[in-house]
Structure formats: C-alpha cells, structure tokens
Amino acid sequence: METGLGEGVVRLVILGGPGAGKGTQAELLCRHFSIPWIATGEILREAIAQKTELGGKAQPFVEKGELVPDPTMIEFIQSRLVLPNASKGWLLDGYPRTAFQAEELDFLLEDLQQRLDWAIWIDVPDAVLTSRSLARSRQDDRPEIVQRRIEQFRDCTIPILEYYERRQRLITINGDRSPEEVSQEIQAKL
C-alpha cells in the first residue's frame, strides 16, 4: 500500500454505518501501518462477557442498541490511548460516535501533544447498510435493532462528519463497491 502518509506515527478514525465494511478496511490499514485496531463495539462486548466494570456500565445500552453514555466512553478512550501500544499510533473504529466524543478526542490529543491524521468515512447508502447488517448473524443484529442503529448512525454521525470536514480532516470514500476498490480509493486519498 502506497500512501502520502510518512513512516511515522499514524492516527486514524474510521467512520461508517453498521455494515459499511469498516472492519475489512480497518484490518488492512492496521496491518499496513502496524498500528492497533481499537474497535469500541468489540471492546465493549468483550468487557460485558468478562463482567468488568466497563462491561457492567455498558451492558444495558449495548443490549438495546443504544449509545453508551459519553462520560463512560470518554473515560475509556482516555485510558486506552495512553497504553504503551498506542504510542505508535492507532485506528479508532466505533469512536467517536457523537460530535461531543469527537471534540473530547481532540482535547485529549491536545493534552497528549498528538494529532489525528484523518477521519476516513466509508459512505454507503442506508438500503445497503440494512441488507448487509441483516446478513450478519450477531445476537444484537435483529431487524429492529439494526434499524435503530442505522437511524442512530444518521442522527449522531452526520455532525461528526461535519466536525471533521470543517477541520479538513475528513476523507470520504464510496463504500458501495468491492472491498478491493474501497481499499484502493483509501490508498489513493491518504
């Protein structure tokens, strides 16, 4: 993968609705840049299974397909981004989920004297998100929950896109294509 980003520390956010293909692209990017993939949804599911304190706080919201409250998420991300393996950069998947979280992330990075390189938005039409999500078989992917998550994505994520757009940190990718084509467009734009 050839990109305009140098060899140094790379910090990325990947954005997209449920079923946008974020996971596939995240994996490719993390392998290429040798950075950890910090997927908050997966981390929360794991925390719930392990019955940790974070899991206990998140469980009632995750089960309903609602967003976990900002203070819990911000506290988590603060603790995660100071771990040793975050010093070489990272890719955040599932965070930020609200404009407030995006702003708090910038405040945190400022404190750490760090900077986000890019927010990559994988843009996919709602109808495609719905059919791709229903094709997956996770327990929280029942039709009404899928619908709720897509609505939530629209309500909460659009302000995040605007937030990064205004700061010239947004890369928009057409995600309604094959994973290879999506990956090529990301490479070309980074």
- Per CB under 6 A, does 67 bind ligand AMP? yes
Of 5, 61, 88, 147, the one binding ligand AMP (CB under 6 A) is 61
Using CB under 6 A, which of 54, 94, 116, 133 touches ligand AMP?
Answer: 94
122 binds ligand AMP (CB under 6 A): no
Exactly one of 41, 91, 119, 160 binds ligand AMP (CB under 6 A); which one? 41
Helix (H, G, I), strand (E, B) or coil at 67: coil
Q: Which is nearer to ligand AMP, 123 or 188 (CB)?
A: 123
Q: Which of 13, 16, 50, 55 is nearest to 30 (CA)?
A: 13
- One of 30, 35, 68, 170 touching ligand AMP (CB under 6 A): 68
Min CB(38)–ligand AMP separation in Å: 10
Among 115, 4, 94, which residue's Cα sits nearest to residue 41? 94
The secondary structure of the chain in percent helix, strand, coil, rounded to multiples of 5, reads: 55, 15, 30
Pick 88 or 100: Cβ nearer ligand AMP: 100
If binding is defined by CB under 6 A, does position 21 make contact with ligand AMP? Answer: no
Measured distance CA(133)–CA(186) in Å, rounded:
22
**13 DSSP β-pair partners:** 92, 119
Q: Which residues contact 165 (CB under 8 A, 6 or more apart)?
A: none
**Tokens of residue 18, six digits:** 């449920």
Using the rule CB under 6 A, which residue among 17, 18, 19, 89 binds ligand AMP?
A: 18
Q: Which is nearer to ligand AMP, 73 or 173 (CB)?
A: 73
